[in-house]
Amino acid sequence: MSKNVIIGALLLVIGVLIGATLPALSAQQREGRRGQPLPTLEQLPQEVATLRQLIPTNSTIMMDVQWHWTNLWWAGKKRNWPLAQYYFNESRGHIQQLVRKNPTIRNQDTGMDVELQGIFDGIDTSSLAMVKDSIAKKDGTGFEKNYRTMLESCYSCHKSVGRPYIRPQLPTAQVQAMVNMDPNATWPQ
């Protein structure tokens, strides 16, 4: 048998298998998770309202950012670069979550909408990138300088959305004593 005949036969078998499983997959898609039917068009507004209640508030998301960013400071001060990278990624990811949730936010002072995506894009390619770079280079002096610059960027964003009273500072106390910041820790194993 030639190579082309074998390939043709394999493609035919794969096509038959796909064709046989599509109706089952389609039935699964019509059924929601846990075997429940998907909502009807009439039920959809209530379903959306219920789901919206499950989304964390902006302040909850930003508390997560604060927690991770504070731990990033201590990991960087201890020169635990893998842990610093972890906290950096978590902080950045939570900021992205907020931007996805609210691409625009109303300025509390002016009542005008502020585009968060544009602000994030600017910070992501400048001060956030500088912090990431100093972590990658394991540059303690650069890390501290760039961390401060990022806090200034945070404050600029807070001011742009009418919340100048949310003024970040360098952490003065470690918020999570359970995570060992020492890069040479030997326990637990």
Domain assignment present for residue 72? The answer is yes
Between vectors from CA 81 to CA 72 and to CA 184, what angle results, nearest 5°?
110
Residue-wise pLDDT for 50-105, tens only, equals 888 889 999 999 999 999 999 999 999 999 999 999 999 999 999 999 999 999 99
Is 44 in the same domain as 93?
A: no
Are the CB atoms for 87 and 179 separated by under 8 Å?
no
Per-residue CA distances from 147 to 79, 106, 180 (Å): 14, 27, 21
Helix axes 116-124, 127-136, angle to 10 degrees: 30
Is 65 in the same domain as 113?
A: yes
* CATH code (residue 134): 1.20.120
Which has more pLDDT, 41 or 135? 135
Are the CB atoms for 143 and 76 separated by under 8 Å?
yes
Domain assignment present for residue 79? The answer is yes
Is 48 in the same domain as 64?
A: no
Is 63 in the same domain as 31?
A: no
Whole-number pLDDT of residue 30:
53
Is 108 in the same domain as 125?
A: yes
Domain assignment present for residue 152? The answer is yes
Residue-wise pLDDT for 150-169, tens only, equals 999 999 999 999 999 999 99
Structure tokens at 98: 């907020």
Max CA-CA distance within the chain? Answer: 78
Count helices and strands in the chain by DSSP H and E runs: 7, 2
Task: Identify the domain containing residue 9 by its residue range.
Answer: 3-54
Is 73 in the same domain as 139?
A: yes
Is 143 in the same domain as 117?
A: yes
Average pLDDT, the chain: 88
pLDDT beyond 90 at 120: yes
Is 39 in the same domain as 111?
A: no
Strand partners, 37: 31
- In the chain, the number of structural domains is 2
Q: What is the DSSP string of 70-106?
A: HHHHHHHHTT-HHHHHHHHHHHHHHHHHHHHH-SEEE
Phi first, then psi, for residue 37 (nearest 5°) are -70, 150
- What residues have CB less than 8 Å from 130, skipping those under 6 apart? 142, 146, 149, 150
Is 70 in the same domain as 24?
A: no
What is the residue whose two structure tokens read 């902006």?
58
Is 107 in the same domain as 126?
A: yes
Q: What does the alpha-carbon distance between residue 159 and residue 161 come to, in Å, rounded to a whole number?
A: 5
Domain assignment present for residue 182? The answer is no
